[in-house]
Chain A
Amino acid sequence: MHLKWFLLSAFRSATAGSRRYHLWMGGLTLLMLLGAYGYYVQLRDGLAVTGMNDHVSWGLYISNFTFLVGMAAAAVMLVLPAYVLKDVDFTKVVLIGEGLAVAALIMCLGFVVVDLGSPFRSWHLTPIIGFLNFPRSLLAWDVIVLNGYLALNVLIPFYILYSHYRGQSPNPKLYLPFVYLSVFWAVSIHMVTAFLLAGLPARPFWNSSLMGPRFLASAFAAGPALIIVMLVMVRSYTPYDIGKEAISKLAMIATVAAQANLVMILSEVFKEFYFPTHHSLSAQYLFFGLHGHDALVTWIRTSIFLNVGATIALTIHPVRHNPRYLVIASLVLFFAIWMDKGMGLVIPGFIPSPLGEIVEYRATWVEFAVTAGIWALGLFIFTVLVKVALPIEMGQSRSPYLSEEERSAPLSH
């Protein structure tokens, strides 16, 4: 009975809103339609409509995938302090972080599916009826950990919200074990994705033991940076009370992670260029161009410049404590890491090819359309999740079966 009303009022929360809200959702829907059209063209004509080829066999899709796994993993930076360390500042924002993880995971799965040459055969990946190559293939690991993490990040917030909706405090014994599990799981999804690339001796650019740690550091910088921007938006567009403390703690996390990430970039650059070997050709292509091919040089230099700039800005206390500068620095950091960890990481792995040939990659309009569509889908899902969660957390949305007394009872997490 409660569940029916829960779903009904969730639907009402998600569909009712101001004019600006409808414009936002309408715009996202348009982008999704554009993406759907691009994907239709790709399904009809094959991946030949993308810029990928036998030399550069992964492109914009997988670049976004590797980056977004980090966004999903970054939710742990809210989950850990909120549930495990019982940090009161974080309990109010943890649901937003989990919503971001859900949206990011759906985008990840979306990017993997649109990258498949034969997506209708995805059922081959399911255990029992398919033939999953577990534990040998890291991609099989990724299928398992991503779907598992998605399940955790749907179920934990659902249980908490549904309890609050029924005017009850959730039972920690029921959900805390899953919270602990999700903390380890978050680290694992990103490590597995790093290992997916690092485990290929054929590609010296990826075949680095620093890959895992660097993935984590960049995720814990870009993830909280994005969450900061989201929280500031929630604060200015809704009456939901997000304490300043949560945002400034997140800013601290993003800053430290961004610093660590820069140290790791520096050590990679040192290793590649102090005494360049054949294995440094990809890095040479990325940073300086190779035999006149330099499609990514401006891209990566812009990324490094923005990354260093944002990290320095965040390191300076007065800048970080100024809400406006904080948002700008966070956005810049987010984009810099997206550039670096997406295209800047995936494409050079293929250039030059293992036999020394150089074929460059340029994404086509189909890839841009599909990518925009999937990002719009993620933002759409995130907006809906926040729109549903906040009225429950603010005590406005409650089951109609509750008495007045039960409605206003204070609830814990």
Chain B
Amino acid sequence: MTERRELTFDDVLRNAGVHEAQSRLDRLMPDPATLPDSGGGCQDGSCGCGGAAPNTLMAKPMDRRGALGALFGAIAVTAQAAGACAPTAVESDEEREAMLLRQEEYFKGNYRLMTPRERSETVRRLERLAQLRGMGDVRIRTDDALPGVMFGYAFNISKCKGFRNCVEACIQENNLDRASGDQYIRIFEKPDGESIDDLEHADATYGHAVPAEGHHYLGTQCFQCANPPCVYVCPVQATWQEPDGVVVVDYDWCIGCRYCMAACPYWARRFNWAEPHVPAEEVNPRQHYLGNRLRKKGVVEKCTFCIQRSREGRLPACAESCPTGARVFGNLLDPESEIRWVLENKQVFRLKEDLGTEPRFWYFMD
């Protein structure tokens, strides 16, 4: 079974006022607003020629990896400062700041091993980086699973008409790469009368008007298995199951070996083969570190039941956008929830039950 930890880092953060704490970067870097626009100007010495590097090392107590990162960071700061002071410097302050932020990001640890302070620092860096990339003011949350919550999903095959509003809503909510047409949800069109879980003759790429005569529809996405093979195989523990049942990926820890993609029996994982692209005006700014924040090329991603929404008590985008009411989402531990009603009153089944993956995603019919 997956090891579970009750994490209450965010409560700690709030109590300790860490959100207000200055990161070491703030001490290092001047506020871009107060700098002259010329770029690389050193008139007032604010760009940190000189004493900046030692400060980086002294700024906070650190572990081995932190020390390594700080050392490289210090070297970079020194080099940058030297570069900025040279007359040939052409980089703008923003480029320099982005480079520094990326440097610090590179040496950060696995999300699960971060202290509350490290979490708030990386969130601050990521938000600033998104801003520097022209992605607007995004807000990245790190709230943990709520106690007493285990998410589950049910899909009504009788009601789905194959409109794929869910697919579109998912793309927009989760900041999916527009260039590759990446989708977490797959809606299969199946001839009526075929075995219910046989997808061999199903078509997920249909382009005609729906619902098509003599067909029914079955949607798949990550089933957030209770016994997830993808989590077993990850060599660097970049993917794990949260206490509320959601299987998440630390996009900044994933090395992109794609072993999890080979291990998933439901084809639920996607890889960023090229740099993902979301037009700035379409970026969903309400993000979660383990959910829909902007990804980079070379990492794996997946459906998280819209962790950024569901942990706020909202429905996942797919369930909210479904015009036919085929999608039921809720807390399996709440006896009053709709999902519990479905599980108790309908005949339900799951895909490939023989594999023992125990999906938390059920199908049913009226």
Indicate if A237 sits at the interface (CB-CB under 8 A). no
**Inter-chain contact B271/A115, CB cutoff 8 Å:** no
Residue of A nearest to B256 (CB): A117
Q: Which of chain A's residues 241-285 have a Cβ closer than 8 Å to chain B?
A: 278, 281
Q: Which of A133-141, A368-376, A402-410 contacts B (4 or more CB under 8 A)?
A: A133-141
Q: Assuming the A-B contacts A131-B110, A355-B220, are A115 and B257 also in contact, with contact meaning beta carbons closer than 8 angstroms in the complex?
A: yes
**Inter-chain contact A117/B255, CB cutoff 8 Å:** yes
**Inter-chain contact A355/B255, CB cutoff 8 Å:** no
Indicate if A304 sits at the interface (CB-CB under 8 A). no
Chain A nearest CB from B174 CB (Å) reads 16
**Inter-chain contact B255/A124, CB cutoff 8 Å:** yes
**Inter-chain contact B298/A46, CB cutoff 8 Å:** yes
Indicate if B364 sits at the interface (CB-CB under 8 A). no
**Inter-chain contact A200/B263, CB cutoff 8 Å:** yes
Residue of A nearest to B236 (CB): A124
**Inter-chain contact B298/A356, CB cutoff 8 Å:** no
Give B1-19 as 1s and 0s: 1 = Cβ < 8 Å from A's Cβ atoms: 0000000000000000000
Q: Which of chain A's residues 218-260 have a Cβ closer than 8 Å to chain B?
A: none
Q: Which of chain A's residues 353-376 have a Cβ closer than 8 Å to chain B?
A: 353-357
**Inter-chain contact A133/B266, CB cutoff 8 Å:** no
Query: Which residues of chain A are within 8 angstroms of B297 by Cβ–Cβ distance?
Result: 46, 48, 117
Q: Assuming the A-B contacts A47-B271, A54-B270, A118-B256, are A354 and B235 also in contact, with contact meaning beta carbons closer than 8 angstroms in the complex?
A: no
Query: Which residues of chain B are within 8 angstroms of A278 by Cβ–Cβ distance?
Result: 200
**Inter-chain contact A202/B274, CB cutoff 8 Å:** no
Contact of B265 among A121, A122, A140, A201 (CB under 8 A): A201
Contact of A118 among B186, B237, B261, B298 (CB under 8 A): B298
**Inter-chain contact A133/B255, CB cutoff 8 Å:** no
Q: Assuming the A-B contacts A45-B274, A57-B258, A117-B297, are A136 and B232 also in contact, with contact meaning beta carbons closer than 8 angstroms in the complex?
A: yes
Indicate if A174 sits at the interface (CB-CB under 8 A). no
**Inter-chain contact B274/A129, CB cutoff 8 Å:** no
Query: Which residues of chain B are within 8 angstroms of A137 by Cβ–Cβ distance?
Result: 232-235, 259
User: What's the Cα separation between A360 and B352 when bound, in Å?
Assistant: 24
**Inter-chain contact A355/B272, CB cutoff 8 Å:** no
Chain A nearest CB from B349 CB (Å) reads 16
| 3 closest residue pairs by CB, A with B | A117-B256, A117-B298, A202-B265
Could you pull out 28 A-B pairs where Cβ atoms are within 8 angstroms? Answer: A46-B274, A47-B273, A47-B298, A48-B273, A48-B297, A50-B273, A54-B267, A57-B271, A58-B258, A58-B262, A116-B298, A117-B255, A117-B298, A117-B300, A118-B255, A119-B255, A120-B106, A124-B253, A125-B235, A130-B236, A136-B232, A136-B233, A139-B257, A201-B229, A201-B356, A202-B229, A355-B188, A355-B266
